Amino acid sequence: MSFPDAASVALRDSQLRRNLAKATGTIRAKRASVVGELPDWQELRSAGRALKDRSLVDLDAQLELLEERVSAAGGQVHWANEADEACSIVAGVARAHGVDEVVKVKSIATDEIKLNEALAAAGVQAVETDLAELIIQLGDDVQSHILVPAIHKNRAEIRDLFARSLDLPDLSDEPEALAEAARVHLRRKFLSARMGVSGANFAVAETGTVCVFESEGNGRMCTTLPEVLVTVMGVEKLVRSWQDMEVFLQLLPRSSTGERMNPYTSFWTGVRPGDGPQEFHLVLLDNGRTGVLADQVGRQALRCIRCSACLNVCPVYSRVGGHAYESVYPGPIGAILTPQLHGMSEGRSLPYASSLCGACYEVCPVEIDIPRVLVHLRGRVVDTEPAWKPEKAAMRAMYRAFASRRSFERAQRAARLGSRPLARRGRIPRLPWPLSGWTETRDLPEPPAETFRDWWRRERGEGRARDEKPVDGEIGGKRGPRDLGAAATPDAAAAPRATSQNGDARRAMLGRIRQALADRPAPVEVPREYRRRSERSRPEIVDLFAERAGEYRATVRRAAPQELRQALTELCRHRGARRLTVPADLPPQWRPDGVELVPDTGLLPNDLDTLDGALTGCALAIAETGTIVLDGGFAQGRRALTLVPDYHLCVVSEDSIADLVPEAVERLEAAVAEGRPLTFISGPSATSDIELNRVEGVHGPRTLHVVIAG
Ligand code: SF4
């Protein structure tokens, strides 16, 4: 179905339109609020754009570097040219381990390649663990938004679905009850899962580090608890250096969920002995991306960090929703990505699914000029149509009319004469077929009786009118519109995709990347004009952290060194926590009274699940975002410790609080270089997947207590 037909169907669904209006309006307001509080947002956008462009201009070399670093850290890298290849790699890993069920993190790349269907055909069930994705999977439905895929479902529909599928006939439609039902259902899966599958938001070439941003804790569960982890990543997700993350850690959460930082961000590098999956596979996916890279105008779509900000401001998307795009990539980004990924053979009506108002460009955190790409793709669509198609015929007629002054004036005269019988009071309300579509929703002004050129000649005489010669490449130059289209239309997109197997896939993909970059894009300078050093005093930084962590509904207390034990004791008593797991190197002065401490000696997930909570320290905290960061260092233990139990009590040393994200990223550089996994935690786990009602606590700890010591 074309977009206009699918949109007509969607527009008749008034419930959908109400849901969309509420959801997009709410997320828009949240985003505007957190973006507005940063004085350097535009500088961050400029840097984000440059960083993504910088990684694309030598993508082949960066991918090779990523492969080398992941392999050196104990991971295995696979190259997949096509969706089928990627699916069979994942299925092969499952088969090799005798696994018939995998737990899966929300990932658009795996939806794009239809991984779940491929795994099912191979006898492996993929269990979606994000709440919205679970709703979609149980209802055999289709995602309608990048961030909140079940945005089109209301709570009553979700209640009915869960009651039926999870055998819970008495379930209420309160968001808390629905989230709890999902938690109970999925916890059994997490604790017994042997293999996890994820996508990736970014991968850092110089360190081989992969990361996932999320809110519910299901991402942490899937990437931490199973023995085997497979990550499927589009090749465009690459960034060059760890330092680049200081920009994206600010751009993505604020543009996406409208938060200063999303509840959880996990970074891992290959395999960490004793912590997390002991086998890691990274699947590098092309599936049309090298075709996009070959288009000099369209390649900027590969900068996309999938924040969905462009969807929420789009006047078209916010009325028709995601299903009308018939792609896993809806909205403005889908309109430029889907047709390009398919070499313009699918989604040809999508470049027209826009009013070209430019709102998407205004909000895009990596400055993708979506309107420009849309117009460019419209040109590619018209270029590939047969000559008799009305739009193509009209464009060719326009081309001829604009090719010289004489033909332009002839066309003006013809338009003036032809429009006379149609004009009513200076307007043309209705044009005859095939131009009638233009006047279906708008009037056309009647051509003036005298043109500017006629007036000029009358006033100044014939000899004064300039008749500039068109330059090569412009309209009327030596190359016409077809040639212009051809110059910007990539050979790689038009060419049949190379198929390859195993070792050949790597060579084939790298070859296509080099061919796509044959125009040798200029090296990119990264402007780092954003704030990188704090101007706040230490007391201000500590106050800000306490305030921001509290806003994320973490309970925050302060304690002088001699009061620390007492503060921890009181918090445990208040919580009713009697048995806590602790890392083996917990300092003695952190031991709360009256609490049994269970040192982590490799406790299994099921053992951790029986405990009341975990008590740890952290590597550092970030004031501006209210975030604590664990890097597996002193007094922190394994990732599973602060994930499986329902309560996390964390000691933050005052000295360890950084004000800004870039300062924190700089301090974490050594841990990343050593291959230590990082977990960024901002408040308890949370979901807003049910009518955008925020529910605290889904799969990670539902309660976070922070004690600032110092
Ligand atoms: S195009 Fe820009 S605004 Fe839209 S999802 Fe991608 S990064 Fe976000």
Which pair of tokens denotes residue 691? Answer: 């009518």
Ligand 1: residue whose CA is nearest its atom 3: 364
**Alpha helices for 489-526 (secondary structure H):** 491-494, 503-516
59-72 helix and 41-57 helix, angle to the nearest 10 degrees: 90
Q: Which helix (DSSP H) or strand (DSSP E) does residue 2 occupy?
A: none
In single-letter form, the type of residue at position 582 comes to: V
pLDDT at 125 over 50: yes
Lowest-pLDDT range, 132-136, 583-587, 672-676? 132-136
For residue 369, the CA-to-ligand 1 centroid distance in Å is 10
Ligand 1 probe mutation, 248, 364, 372, most atoms within 8 A of CB: 364
Q: What is the Cα–Cα distance from 204 to 243, expressed in whole angstroms?
A: 9
562 and 688, same structural domain? yes
Model pLDDT, residue 278: 97
Instruction: For 152-178, write each residue's pLDDT tens digit.
Output: 888 899 999 999 999 999 999 999 999
Residue 497 binned pLDDT confidence (cut-offs 50, 70, 90)? very low
Ligand 1 atom closest to 256 (CA):
8
Percent of the chain with pLDDT over 70: 94
547 and 450, same structural domain? no
Model pLDDT, residue 420: 83
Residue 34 binned pLDDT confidence (cut-offs 50, 70, 90)? very high
Instruction: Domain count for the chain, please give it.
Output: 2
Lowest-pLDDT range, 15-29, 95-109, 600-614? 15-29
Ligand 1: residue whose CA is nearest its atom 7: 304
Per the domain annotation, does 3 fall within a domain?
no
For residue 20, the CA-to-ligand 1 centroid distance in Å is 18
Model pLDDT, residue 481: 34
672 and 608, same structural domain? yes
Locus of tokens 């709703």: 135
What is the strand order of the sheet 613-616 is part of? 555-559, 703-709, 647-653, 613-616, 579-582, 596-599
Q: What is the Cα–Cα distance from 595 to 591, expressed in whole angstroms?
A: 8
Instruction: For 523-559, write each residue's pLDDT tens digit.
Output: 999 999 999 999 999 999 999 999 999 998 899 999 9
Residue 594 binned pLDDT confidence (cut-offs 50, 70, 90)? very high
Model pLDDT, residue 492: 43
674 and 566, same structural domain? yes
Q: What is the Cα–Cα distance from 259 to 475, expressed in whole angstroms?
A: 46
Percent of the chain with pLDDT over 90: 72
Ligand 1: residue whose CA is nearest its atom 6: 304
Model pLDDT, residue 525: 95
Neighbours of 515 (CB within 10 A): 15
Q: pLDDT: is 461 or 558 the higher one?
A: 558
**Alpha helices for 38-174 (secondary structure H):** 41-57, 59-72, 83-96, 108-112, 115-121, 131-138, 155-165
Per the domain annotation, does 242 fall within a domain?
no
Residue 145 binned pLDDT confidence (cut-offs 50, 70, 90)? confident
SS3 457: helix
445 and 580, same structural domain? no
Residue 502 binned pLDDT confidence (cut-offs 50, 70, 90)? low
pLDDT at 512 over 90: yes
Instruction: For 71-84, write each residue's pLDDT tens digit.
Output: 999 999 999 999 99
Ligand 1: residue whose CA is nearest its atom 2: 364
pLDDT at 284 over 90: yes
| DSSP letter, residue 408 | H
Q: What is the Cα–Cα distance from 445 to 65, expressed in whole angstroms?
A: 59
| Residues comprising the chain, all counted | 710
Per the domain annotation, does 608 fall within a domain?
yes
Residue 500 binned pLDDT confidence (cut-offs 50, 70, 90)? very low
Ligand 1: residue whose CA is nearest its atom 4: 310
Model pLDDT, residue 487: 40
703 and 579, same structural domain? yes
Locus of tokens 């938001």: 201
pLDDT at 493 over 50: no
For residue 361, the CA-to-ligand 1 centroid distance in Å is 8
Per the domain annotation, does 115 fall within a domain?
no
Ligand 1 probe mutation, 314, 329, 350, 366, most atoms within 8 A of CB: 366
Ligand 1 atom closest to 307 (CA):
8
For residue 365, the CA-to-ligand 1 centroid distance in Å is 7
Q: What is the Cα–Cα distance from 648 to 542, expressed in whole angstroms?
A: 20
Model pLDDT, residue 317: 94
Per the domain annotation, does 544 fall within a domain?
yes
Give me the residues paired with residue 615 across strands: 649
- Give mean pLDDT, residues 462-490: 42
Model pLDDT, residue 463: 57
Beta carbons of 212 and 105 less than 8 angstroms apart: yes
Neighbours of 680 (CB within 10 A): 24
Model pLDDT, residue 433: 79
Per the domain annotation, does 155 fall within a domain?
no
Q: What is the Cα–Cα distance from 122 to 118, expressed in whole angstroms?
A: 6
Locus of tokens 């412009």: 474
Neighbours of 616 (CB within 10 A): 24
Q: pLDDT: is 490 or 339 the higher one?
A: 339
Written as one string, the DSSP assignment of 22-42 is HHHHHHHHHHHHHHHT-TTHH
For residue 256, the CA-to-ligand 1 centroid distance in Å is 9
Beta carbons of 635 and 651 less than 8 angstroms apart: yes
Ligand 1 atom closest to 146 (CA):
5
Q: What is the Cα–Cα distance from 35 to 679, expressed in whole angstroms?
A: 23
Neighbours of 447 (CB within 10 A): 18
Per the domain annotation, does 595 fall within a domain?
yes
- Give mean pLDDT, residues 256-261: 94
Beta carbons of 340 and 301 less than 8 angstroms apart: yes
What's the maximum distance between 2 C-alpha atoms anywhere in the chain?
101
CA–chain centroid gap for 260, Å, is: 16
Neighbours of 49 (CB within 10 A): 23
Per the domain annotation, does 682 fall within a domain?
yes
Which pair of tokens denotes residue 638? Answer: 């394994």
Model pLDDT, residue 615: 98
Instruction: For 637-687, write each residue's pLDDT tens digit.
Output: 999 999 999 999 999 999 999 999 999 999 999 999 999 999 999 988 888
Beta carbons of 273 and 472 less than 8 angstroms apart: no
Ligand 1 probe mutation, 310, 327, 336, 373, most atoms within 8 A of CB: 310
Q: What is the Cα–Cα distance from 560 to 313, expressed in whole angstroms?
A: 47
How far lies 638's CA from each of 409, 422, 612, 631, in Å? 77, 77, 17, 9
Q: pLDDT: is 665 or 395 the higher one?
A: 665
Average predicted confidence (pLDDT) for the chain: 90
692 and 586, same structural domain? yes
pLDDT at 32 over 60: yes
Q: What is the Cα–Cα distance from 26 to 438, expressed in whole angstroms?
A: 35
Beta carbons of 641 and 594 less than 8 angstroms apart: no
455 and 573, same structural domain? no
Ligand 1 atom closest to 306 (CA):
5
Ligand 1 atom closest to 363 (CA):
3
Ligand 1 atom closest to 331 (CA):
4
Ligand 1 atom closest to 255 (CA):
8
CA–chain centroid gap for 312, Å, is: 13
Instruction: For 363-383, write each residue's pLDDT tens digit.
Output: 999 999 999 999 999 999 988
Ligand 1 atom closest to 336 (CA):
1
564 and 705, same structural domain? yes
Instruction: For 311-361, write each residue's pLDDT tens digit.
Output: 999 999 999 999 999 999 999 999 999 999 998 888 999 999 999 999 999
How far lies 359's CA from each of 30, 302, 387, 654, in Å? 16, 19, 34, 42
568 and 464, same structural domain? no
Residue 582 binned pLDDT confidence (cut-offs 50, 70, 90)? very high
- Give mean pLDDT, residues 269-289: 97
590 and 697, same structural domain? yes
CB-defined site of ligand 1, < 6 Å: 255, 304-310, 333, 363-366, 368
Angle at 316 between CA 310 and CA 317, to 5 degrees: 55
Q: What is the CATH number of the domain that holds 552?
A: 3.40.50.10420
pLDDT at 432 over 90: no
Q: pLDDT: is 397 or 666 the higher one?
A: 666
- Give mean pLDDT, residues 191-204: 97
Phi, psi values for residue 70, rounded to 5° = -65, -40
Which pair of tokens denotes residue 140? Answer: 């055999």
For residue 544, the CA-to-ligand 1 centroid distance in Å is 30
Model pLDDT, residue 495: 39
For residue 277, the CA-to-ligand 1 centroid distance in Å is 31
Ligand 1 atom closest to 309 (CA):
3
CA–chain centroid gap for 482, Å, is: 34
Q: What is the Cα–Cα distance from 656 to 659, expressed in whole angstroms?
A: 10
459 and 567, same structural domain? no
175-192 helix and 155-165 helix, angle to the nearest 10 degrees: 40
Model pLDDT, residue 385: 83
Written as one string, the DSSP assignment of 425-453 is TTEE--PPTTSHHHHSSS-EEPPPSS-HH
Neighbours of 462 (CB within 10 A): 8
For residue 46, the CA-to-ligand 1 centroid distance in Å is 14
Buried b (16+ CB within 10 A) or exposed e, 77-102: bbbbbbbebbbbbbbebbeeeebeeb
Domain that holds residue 481: 391-488
pLDDT at 213 over 70: yes
Which pair of tokens denotes residue 624? Answer: 């501006």
Decide which of 470, 488, 506 is a domain's last residue. Answer: 488
